[in-house]
Amino acid sequence: MPAWSSSWQLPDQIADVLPSEARHIEELRRLFLDTACSYGYELVMPPLLEHLESLLTGTGEALDIQTFKLVDQLSGRTLGLRADTTPQVARIDAHLLNRQGVARLCYCGPVLHTRAELPHATREPLQFGAEIYGHAGIEADLEAQALALAGLQAAGVTGLLIDMADVRIVSGILAGTSVPAKNLSAIHAALAAKDAVELAMLTAELPLATRTGLQALLRLYGDESVLDQAVVALKDFPAVQAALENLRQLASHIRHSNPGVEVRFDLADLRGYAYYSGTRFAIYGLGAELVRGGRYDEVGAVFGRNRPAVGFSLDLKELVRVLPARSLRAAVRAPWGQDAALNAAITALRQQGEIVACVLPGHEHEVNEFNCDRELLLVGGQWQLVPLSKSGA
C-alpha cells in the first residue's frame, strides 16, 4: 500500500472540524465566555501540557488513566497532556492569584483523553468551564447552576433537566464504619448500577442501619418527593439530613428562577465521588448529558490552599453535535478589483459588520460557507448593494 494512502488518516475518535461546525463551535465559545463574563468571571488560559506530577496531583487514578504522557526533550522529565482543566485552575487560584476573597475564573480550551467517555464522543473535547473559589455557602452552588443554565439557554437548548445528588449522603451513611478502599469502590459501583444483590453481598458485615440505609438509596430517585422519602428512610443519619436540606434549597431556587427546568434527584448517583465533596449535578438536554458540575472543596488542598470551590464544565463539541445545524450566514458578494471606490465600499461594509466575499476571476459560481444574498454592483457610477436575486446572477 502506498505511504500516501493512509498518511492523512487521523487516530480513532480524533477528527478535523470543518467550516460549518467550526463556526458553530466558535460562536458557542464566545457566547459561553461572554455569559460567564457577565457574571463577573475572569478568563484564564492554563497550558495544554505540564509536568506530570503537577498535572495529576490530587486527581486520582481515573484522570491518570485518561492522560496522555510524553517525555520532555529539554529536561527529560515526563509531561502530561491535560485531560481536565479544573485541577489547573485550582493551581492558578492557589499559587498564582492567591486571593483572600472570592475568585471567579472561567476557561475554554482543548483537553485530550486516552479513551473517549462515550462510543460516539471525541477524544479531544473543547472544554468550557467556570469555577468559583472562596465561598462555602449555598450561594456559590446556586450561582454555578444558574450560570450553566444561562449558557445553555442562550445557546438555544430547551427542555432542560437538572439532576442532583450529594456525595455526603453515602459518606454520612457509612460514617463510623470501617470499609477497605477496595470494598468502598465496589459499594459505590453497586449503588451506581442499582444492583441490590451485589450491594447486599458487599455490605453483609456492616451494621444493620448502614445496610438498610444503603439499600434505601437504590429506590431514592425521581422528583422532589424523593427528598421527603429520604428524610424518613435515612432519619438515623443526622449528617445526611443536612445534605438533603441543601438539595431541597437548591431545587427550590431553580424552581423559582427557572420554572421551565425540570429538577430530579438520584441519591445513589456517585459519579465523581472521589472528586466532589458535596452537591454534584448534571444538566441534560436534547437527549444528552451536557454539563457536569458540583462542589469540590478539597480540589485546592494539594496546592496548599484548601478553600471552598464549586463549578462546572461541558464539551462544546458535544453540544454542537446535538444542537440543530446553523443556517449559512448572510454575506455580500463583491467583484475582485483594484478600483479605489470599490475597495472603499468593501472596507465600509466590513467595518459595519458585514461579511464581504470577493469573487476571484473564474470562480463566479462557486458555493461556499456563506449565503451571499446581496451583491455589490456598479450602478450609475457608484457601488451599491443589490439583492442577489434581482441582479440576474
Which CATH number goes with the domain that contains 144? Answer: 3.30.930.10
Write down the pLDDT at residue 241: 95
**Does the pLDDT value for residue 390 go beyond 60?**
no
- Of 160, 155, 146, which Cα lies nearest the Cα of 256? 146
Regarding whether 339 and 294 lie in a shared domain, the answer is no
Write down the pLDDT at residue 131: 97
Which residue type does 193 have?
Answer: A
120-149: per-residue pLDDT in tens? 889 999 999 999 999 999 999 999 999 999
Regarding whether 120 and 72 lie in a shared domain, the answer is yes
Which residue type does 365 have?
Answer: H
Q: Is 203 annotated as a binding residue?
A: no
Q: Is 127 annotated as a binding residue?
A: yes
State the first-to-last Cα distance of the chain, in angstroms, to the nearest integer.
46
Which residue type does 151 have?
Answer: G
Q: What total number of domains does the chain contain?
A: 2
Enter the C-alpha cell of residue 255.
424552581
**Does the pLDDT value for residue 358 go beyond 80?**
yes
Q: Is 271 annotated as a binding residue?
A: yes
Instruction: Please give the share of the chain, as a percent, with pLDDT higher than 70.
Output: 94
* Separation of alpha carbons 140 and 310, rounded Å: 7
Write down the pLDDT at residue 393: 46
Q: Is 279 annotated as a binding residue?
A: no
Q: Report if residue 52 sits inside a domain.
A: yes
CA–CA distance from 82 to each of 26, 27, 58, 66 (Å)?
A: 21, 24, 14, 9
Regarding whether 367 and 313 lie in a shared domain, the answer is no
Q: Report if residue 244 sits inside a domain.
A: no
Range of the domain at 294: 19-158+286-322
> Mean pLDDT of all residues in the chain?
92
* Separation of alpha carbons 267 and 246, rounded Å: 13
DSSP H or E stretch at residue 78: strand 78-81
Write down the pLDDT at residue 392: 45
| Interstrand relation of 103-110 and 42-43 (parallel, antiparallel or unpaired) | parallel
Write down the pLDDT at residue 60: 60
Name the β-bridge partners of 335. 359
**Does the pLDDT value for residue 3 go beyond 60?**
no
CA–CA distance from 97 to each of 42, 105, 191, 298, 299 (Å)?
A: 12, 11, 39, 18, 16
**Does the pLDDT value for residue 359 go beyond 70?**
yes
Q: Is 264 annotated as a binding residue?
A: no
Q: Is 39 annotated as a binding residue?
A: no
Domain boundary among 278, 298, 322: 322
315-354: per-residue pLDDT in tens? 999 999 999 998 888 999 999 999 999 999 999 999 999 9
Name the β-bridge partners of 309. 133
| Among the ranges given (26-35, 50-59, 91-100), the one the predictor scored with the smallest mean pLDDT | 50-59
263-297: per-residue pLDDT in tens? 999 999 887 767 789 999 999 999 999 999 999 98
